[in-house]
Amino acid sequence: MTTHVLGDTTVLLGRSLRHVTRSPDTVITTAVMPIAMMLMFVYVFGGAIDTGSASYVNYLLPGILLITIASGVAYTALRLFTDLKSGIFERFHSMPIARPAALWAHVLTSLVANLVSLVIVVGVALLMGFRSGAGPAAWLAVAGILVLFTLALTWIAVLAGLSAKTAEGGSAFSYPLIFLPFLSSAFVPTATMPGPVRAFAEHQPVTSIVDTIRDLFTGQPVGSDIWTALAWCAGILVVAYLFATAAYRRKIS
């Protein structure tokens, strides 16, 4: 059974990836907005923001990476919604294809597409002066956190795509996710924020994730932040997965 699911998922993943490669503008568009934000904040606002960092792009990049992911998963919801409305899922279910395979193909496509966008954003950051003293282990830890965060948001996107009534509604869920880093330590230290905003910023998931990635990039001890970040990512992933798979079963029953 497991081999059957893996084989079907691989085939359907190839189909989804071919759609992405035929429309590379989706990956490019995903990267353009975060890059534009990075350029604006570094070259327009960066001089007025005191982060205590040698380079504002170094401080800013972790938050920009999370915004890239939040922007990218909107296309997952849109692709899933489009497949549902086209009737392709009904065709798949009339064939000897494992039912979870179609869903997992969308999830893995989201992971691959977002990783490509992240590489593009990091490449631009390097051109802007981003430098990191992180070793291979720290880079692997950053990659692991970003993969886990991508999967967590992707399952939220799956739930949105399954529940949406319109294509616009399917992708609109990503707007709050894109905005959330602005209420965190991604752009400015939380100590500069008013009391209630600071309290929210210091206890929402993005701050712990951003702080962990920033410490890993700079080679600083991550302390308990990494466990908080992993707990947030894993918790969101599990809850979103359970709700999304329940919605999927209702949809195809």
Backbone angles phi, psi at 120, to 5 degrees: -60, -45
pLDDT in tens, 100-159: 777 888 889 889 989 999 999 999 999 999 998 888 999 999 999 999 999 999 999 999
pLDDT of 19 > 80? The answer is no
Helices 56-86, 136-163: axis angle to 10 degrees equals: 40
pLDDT in tens, 20-52: 777 666 667 778 889 999 999 898 887 777 777
Q: What DSSP state is assigned to residue 117?
A: H
Q: What is the overall mean pLDDT for the chain?
A: 85
Distance CA 43, CA 26 (A): 26
Distance CA 253, CA 248 (A): 8
CA–CA–CA angle 66, 117, 28 (5° rounding): 120
pLDDT in tens, 52-77: 766 889 999 999 999 999 988 888 88
